[in-house]
Structures are given as C-alpha cells and as structure tokens.
C-alpha cells in the first residue's frame, strides 16, 4: 500500500542547497570518457551515401557564402549547423554546447561557481524557466527573488524561449558584476539588479536530528561523493543512531560511476543498475563490494527535482528493499548521456543507452514512485517561515514509529 499525504502548500526547506548544476542542467553519467568526433562516424553508411545525404547542406552553405546579403563568420555557420544536427535527434537530453556553455557545465561538479544561486526547472507546458529554490545566503535570496518567479529578461535579452544552458551563460558571470533580471511573479513584472557572487556549495551535509536520527544530504554525484558520504557516516556515527535519513531532494545527478559507488554503500551485493543499448546488448553493474555496513533503518528522501543518478540510487535501494523511499515522484530521466568534447572546445552530449533498475523498471517520464508519498504545492518564503520541513518530519516519524504530525490543516491517506 502506498501512503499519500496531500499537502496544500509547498514549504520547501531552507536546507535546500543544490548546486547550479540543478539550476541549468539535469545530468546523468557524464563519465570520464573523452573522444573527438570525426566527420564520418561508425554509421555503416558508405562515403558516397554520406556525400549524397549532405549534398543539400553543402549547397545551402555555398548559397549563403555567395548570395546572402551580409557576411557571416564561418564559425557562426558551423555552430548553427552543429546545433541543428543534434536538435534533429528530438532528444531533450542530447545537445550541442558551445565552448562557454561546455566549460560552465563541466565546472558545476566542482561545487563552486559564480552566479546568483537559484534552483530552477523548465515548466513542461510553457517552456518557461521557473525558480523552485534559493541557495541560502546567495545573492538571489538577498535580492528578494522567490520560488515561483519566472525568468523573462536577462540583461535585455528575452529568455522566455531559451533552454537552461543558454540561460546559464546569461545569468552567470564574474564575481562582483551586476546582472539585470526581470522576473514574472503572477501577472507582475519585477526588475532585479543582482550582484553575482562566488558560491561554494558543500556536496554533503550531515547532522544529528532529534530522536537520535542521523541526517545526510547529498547535493550531487560528484567524483568525491563516495568519500564525502563515508566521512559523513563516520562523523555522525551512523550505527549509534536509531535511523538514517539520506536526502536526495533537488539532486540532479552526476557521474554513473559515483551513483554505483553510492548505491554500493547501502547494498551489500547484487545488481545496482542495468544499461540497455540500441544493439540489444546490456551491461549489468553489480554492487562493487564497498558496503558501508549500515545496520540502522534508512529513509531516502526524493522529490520532483531528484533526477537521473538520484533516481538510479533510489530505484536500486527500493528494489533491494534496504530503504524506505519517501517524498514526491521523481523527475523521470531513464537515459544515459556521454559527453564528448569537440575540436572547438565545445562539446556534444549524446544519449547512448537506457538504464533500468535491478527489477528492470524503466522510470523514464514516470519517475520513481516513493513508498510513502508526500505531495505539496508552491508556497512563498513568507508562508514557509515558522514551519518545519514536512518531509523530514514524516521521515522522522517513519524511523521512530511515532505518528506523523504536520503543522498543516489537513492530512489524508490514500491506497
């Protein structure tokens, strides 16, 4: 039986500290591989077939060079052609990244960036980019930006139809420089001038909560995440506690290898994830033997912004039966991308596989459904003040066996 607590307002915790990775990129399995794309890949097509297929392309290129009213730099035409080729795949997780964007997104996993410090997502129905969280103490919070605000103009550029990586380039900038942003809040347009800052986000945070419960929050699956997790487990002396809350809310993902390492901390043996490729081949990843010997009950918290590697870990722990998954249905990204650098210092991200949970569930566009669901709707920071995080309250109640008591007017149970 699934238990659902319908929450009339979203009281998003001020503990939210997600990196700009989640602001401008939902990623999974960046990996360490690097390759230079060649003009003719392993497509199985002959050189004559490739030449015929691209004949109209070269004809268009020559027409622009010979007849277009203005001179267009070759680099501009090349970037446009590369962008269009990848966009033709009609895959939201594949894309071309110019050198600046490629550098920005690769630097996200360092946990340090220069920007304003917001957590966002793209509204599916409209394509607009909405703020869903604020980094505590960051410039955006100090300027008065609120969850629910929608980006409309950045430094004079209309951003209502740009993707998140394009917005990243516009919003980011050197520490101490201003950026002018017009946000839409309801029907009102609000002008903000925000001075960018250097923001350092800890990848793992830990503490001991009331009722002797350990709490660990992981913000992304960086190269050092497993070492950070092990250090946090030691710091809170996890097996001296009565339970552990492992918080993956707003975690956008990261490295495939790290996701396997994190899963292996909780799963002693068995399958962690399955990669399924286009040629019907599969690769099965098993727990790597680095079990953390946790012997207390575990709750994993997830929400709608927990994506890819976060979903992999949640799905693996759910299938293995080693943790109770609580929160909201996750983002729903069940594909694997490889990041490939280009000779122009830009890069291409390409979907190369689907991933399945150990029980062969493909969560793409569906997400991981928690064992205990707690739904809520957006609220302002003013509404939040004075309330505790309801998902953490629910996790504490689950681990202690106490009744779930929320500071809310109505709680319902559904099958």
| Structure tokens given for 360 | 């062969």
Overall domain count for the chain: 2
Domain boundary among 200, 227, 261: 200
126 and 268 in a common domain: no
Cβ atoms of 6 and 408 within 8 Å: the answer is no
Whether residue 338 is contained in a domain is answered as yes
Domain boundary among 137, 165, 200: 200
Q: How far apart are CA 383 and CA 215, in angstroms?
A: 25
Domain boundary among 166, 181, 200: 200
246 and 292 in a common domain: yes
SS3 content of the chain, % helix, strand, coil (to 5): 30, 25, 45
CATH of the domain at 320: 3.90.226.10
380 and 241 in a common domain: yes
Cβ atoms of 288 and 331 within 8 Å: the answer is no
Cβ atoms of 301 and 395 within 8 Å: the answer is yes
The pLDDT tens digits along the chain (415 residues) read 344 443 333 333 322 222 222 222 333 333 222 222 233 445 567 888 888 999 999 999 999 999 999 999 999 999 999 999 999 998 888 889 888 888 777 666 556 788 998 877 788 788 899 987 777 789 999 999 998 899 999 999 999 988 887 898 899 899 999 999 999 999 999 999 999 999 877 889 999 998 899 999 998 898 899 999 999 999 999 999 999 999 999 888 888 999 999 999 999 999 999 999 988 899 999 999 999 999 999 999 998 889 999 999 999 999 999 999 999 999 899 999 888 999 999 999 999 999 999 999 999 999 999 999 987 554 444 444 444 678 888 899 999 998 766 554 343 444 4
250 and 153 in a common domain: no
Q: Is 257 a catalytic residue?
A: no
Partners of 112 in the beta sheet? 200
Given the residues 333, 375, 388, 414, the one annotated as active site: 333
Given the residues 13, 264, 308, 310, the one annotated as active site: 308
Q: How far apart are CA 228 and CA 224, in angstroms?
A: 6
| Structure tokens given for 413 | 């149970």
Beta-carbon contacts of 50 under 8 Å, excluding residues fewer than 6 positions away, are 40, 43
Whether residue 385 is contained in a domain is answered as yes
Tell me, what DSSP letter sits at residue 212? G
370 CA to centre of own chain: 18
285 and 232 in a common domain: yes
Q: Is 319 a catalytic residue?
A: yes
Given the residues 108, 149, 247, 319, the one annotated as active site: 319
279 and 253 in a common domain: yes
297 and 163 in a common domain: no
Q: Is 8 a catalytic residue?
A: no
User: Which residues constitute the domain of residue 137?
Assistant: 112-200
216 and 120 in a common domain: no
Cβ atoms of 134 and 183 within 8 Å: the answer is no
CATH of the domain at 134: 2.30.42.10
């Amino acid at each position: 039986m699934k238990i659902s607590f319908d929450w009339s307002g979203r009281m998003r915790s001020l503990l939210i500290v997600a990196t700009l990775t989640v602001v401008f990129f939902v990623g999974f399995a960046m990996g360490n591989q690097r390759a230079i794309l060649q003009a003719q890949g392993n497509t199985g097509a002959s050189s004559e077939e490739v030449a015929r297929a691209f004949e109209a392309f070269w004809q268009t290129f020559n027409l622009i060079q010979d007849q277009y009213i203005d001179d267009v730099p070759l680099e501009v035409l090349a970037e446009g052609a590369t962008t269009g080729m990848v966009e033709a795949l009609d895959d939201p997780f594949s894309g071309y990244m110019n050198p600046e964007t490629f550098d920005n997104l690769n630097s996200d996993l360092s946990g340090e960036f220069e920007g304003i410090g917001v957590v966002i997502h793209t509204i599916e129905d409209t394509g607009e980019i909405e703020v869903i969280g604020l980094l505590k103490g960051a410039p955006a919070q100090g300027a008065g930006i609120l969850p629910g605000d929608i980006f409309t103009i950045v430094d004079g550029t209309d951003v209502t139809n740009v993707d998140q990586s394009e917005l990243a380039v516009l919003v980011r900038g050197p520490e101490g420089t201003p950026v002018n942003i017009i946000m839409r809040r309801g029907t009102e347009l609000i002008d903000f001038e925000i001075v960018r800052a250097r923001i350092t986000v800890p990848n793992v945070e830990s503490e001991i909560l009331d009722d002797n419960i350990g709490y660990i929050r992981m913000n992304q699956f960086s190269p050092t995440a497993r070492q950070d997790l092990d250090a946090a487990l030691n710091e809170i002396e996890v097996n001296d506690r009565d339970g552990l809350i492992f918080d993956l809310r707003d975690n956008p993902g990261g490295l495939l290898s790290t996701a396997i390492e994190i899963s292996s901390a909780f799963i002693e043996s068995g399958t962690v994830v399955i990669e399924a490729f286009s040629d019907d081949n599969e690769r099965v990843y098993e727990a790597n033997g680095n079990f953390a010997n946790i012997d207390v009950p575990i709750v994993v918290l997830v929400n709608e912004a927990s994506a890819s590697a976060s979903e992999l870990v949640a799905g693996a722990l759910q299938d293995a039966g080693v943790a109770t998954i609580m929160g909201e249905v996750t983002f729903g990204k069940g594909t694997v991308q490889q990041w490939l650098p280009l000779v122009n210092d830009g890069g291409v991200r390409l979907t190369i596989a689907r991933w399945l949970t150990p029980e062969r569930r493909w969560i793409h566009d569906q997400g991981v459904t928690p064992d205990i669901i707690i739904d809520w709707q957006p609220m302002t920071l003013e509404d939040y003040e004075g309330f505790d995080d309801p998902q953490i309250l629910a996790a504490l109640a689950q681990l202690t066996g106490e009744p779930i008591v929320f500071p809310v007017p109505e709680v319902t149970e559904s099958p």
